[in-house]
Structure 1
Amino acid sequence: MCLAVPARILELRGETEAVAELGGVRIPVSLALVEDVAVGDHVVVHVGYALAKIDAAEAARMLDALEQLPQVA
C-alpha cells in the first residue's frame, strides 16, 4: 500500500528542495511538483516528493485520520 502524508515545511533549499517535519522527524523533500511553497506551509508528501500544498486544517484532519488506522504488528 502506498501512503502520502502531510508534512510542514521547515526550511527551503533552493527552488526545488526543502526540509520538512513529519512526526517530529526532519526529512528532505523535493518541491519539483508544487509551486509557491514557503516555510510554514503544509504539503502532502509521498516517497520524498511534495505532491500538493494543503492548509493547516486539512493537514490536521489527515493526521487525525492516520492515527485512527489500526497498527500492524
Structure 2
Amino acid sequence: MCLGIPGRIVEVTDTENCLAKVDVSGVQRTISVRLLEKDLPQPDDWVLVHVGFAMAKIDEAEALLTLAAVQKLGDAYQDEIEAFDSSSIV
C-alpha cells in the first residue's frame, strides 16, 4: 500500500534541482519538490509526500489531522515509514 504522508520541510537543499529535506514522523529524507516549483515550499511548510515527491502544499492543521488518521492504520503506516526511511534521492 502506498500512502501520501504529510511531511514538514526542514530545508531547501538544492533550489536549482528542486530538492528539499523533509521530516516525516522523525525520519528525514531528501525529496523532490519539482512538482511545486511554481510555489516552492520553504522551511516549516508542510507538504504531502508520495514516492519521494512533494505532491501538494498543505497547512499544518490538515497535516496533523492527516498524520493522526494514517497512524491509526497501524501496520500500513509503519510499512510506509519504513519504506520512507530506507529510500533516498541521490
**2:81 corresponds to:** none
Q: Which has the higher strand share?
A: 1
Q: Is 1:7 equivalent to 2:7 in the alignment?
A: yes
CA apart distance, 1:70: 3.7
| Structure 1: tracts of 5 or more residues without a match | none
**1:21 corresponds to:** 23
Task: State the alpha-carbon separation in 2 of the partners of residues 71 and 2 from structure 1.
Answer: 12
**2:42 corresponds to:** 38
CA apart distance, 1:14: 2.2
Q: Give aligned-pair identity as a percent.
A: 40
**2:56 corresponds to:** 52
Task: State the alpha-carbon separation in 2 of the partners of residues 47 and 37 from structure 1.
Answer: 17
Q: How many residues align?
A: 72
Q: Which has the higher helix share?
A: 2
Q: Letter of the 1:47 partner, please give it.
A: V
Contact 2:48–2:54 (Cα < 8 Å) also in 1: yes
Q: SS of 2:14's equivalent?
A: coil
CA apart distance, 1:69: 1.5
Q: CA RMSD in A?
A: 1.2
CA apart distance, 1:12: 0.5
Q: Compute the TM-score of the two structures, normalised by the length of structure 2.
A: 0.74
Stretches of 4+ moved more than 3 A in 1? none
